[in-house]
Amino acid sequence: MDNFKDKVVWITGASSGIGEALAMAFAKEGAKLVLTARRQEELERVKKQTSLPNDSVLVLPMDVTQLEQAKPAAETVIAHFKRIDIMVHNAGVSQRSYINDTDLEVYQSLMNVNFFSTVAITKAILPYMIEQQGGHFIVMSSVAGKIGTIMRSGYNAAKHALHGFYDSLRAEGYPHNIKVTTICPGYIRTNISVNALNASGSKFGKMDSNQEHGIPADECARRILEAVRKDKKEIYVGGFKEVAAIYVKRFFPNLLFDQVRKNIPT
């Protein structure tokens, strides 16, 4: 997809971080946007900052964990724009807690936000993409979707699940010109650690040092758009250390497991 002009792009988690940066990047390309998150006032702020014409941006507030809302939300988008060209599954929440301390309900929340919400929305819009014989899913996984680390067990599990599901979708969607690009960010300068869930499901409330010194969200967005232009199947976005860890696991798994075991978060 060389040109995003007039493409209808639906972004979840669009009110901050990578989602907001992607909204700005697609807006500069002349795309039409559907902005989804829970906070309508923040979505309105993002809409204003895009400087797009009013009828080119649909603000669609939604709690993605309310899975029954996926189908009516998709119907709203289709009624407004008549099609969906790109679906950006960006809504997500991280974790900061040990397995032994974490309530089962926290794991359910992590899976609902990071995995089941994407499945529900995907199933809601897939019939439209099949009918129009084209579409592109941008799936926000993580380096955590490749490597399991301490205090991230539920987050790791949900991100690993995304790879299995969307690898299958990529294969099944091929005859209908439906594409999938899976994004594995490392440390990006966002509030993901601040909003992460602790053992009881409350917000962690602290900025990780690695996150604070990560690459800017707008740079991450630029690399994502470039990957979609080139129809990349999977990309890694981040600093040398976390991206290198993916290759260390592939070729020297025992070395990686030893490093993960010793890397206890402070």
Per DSSP, the three-state class of 150 is: coil
- The dihedral formed by the CA atoms of 77, 14, 226 and 167, expressed in degrees to the nearest 10: -70
**Could you tell me which residues come within 8 angstroms of residue 221 by beta carbon, excluding any fewer than 6 positions away?**
18, 21, 22, 24, 25
155 is catalytic: yes
- Residue 202's nearest CA partner among 93, 63, 61 is 93
Catalytic residue among 155, 166, 187, 236: 155
* E strand residue ranges, 78-233: 86-89, 135-140, 178-185
Specify whether the CB–CB gap between 34 and 10 falls below 8 A. Answer: yes
Residue 160 · residue 143 · CB < 8 Å: no
Say how far apart CA 207 and CA 191 lie, in whole Å.
7
Q: What is the rounded distance in angstroms from the CA atom of residue 99 to the CA atom of residue 14?
A: 30
Active site positions, annotated: 155
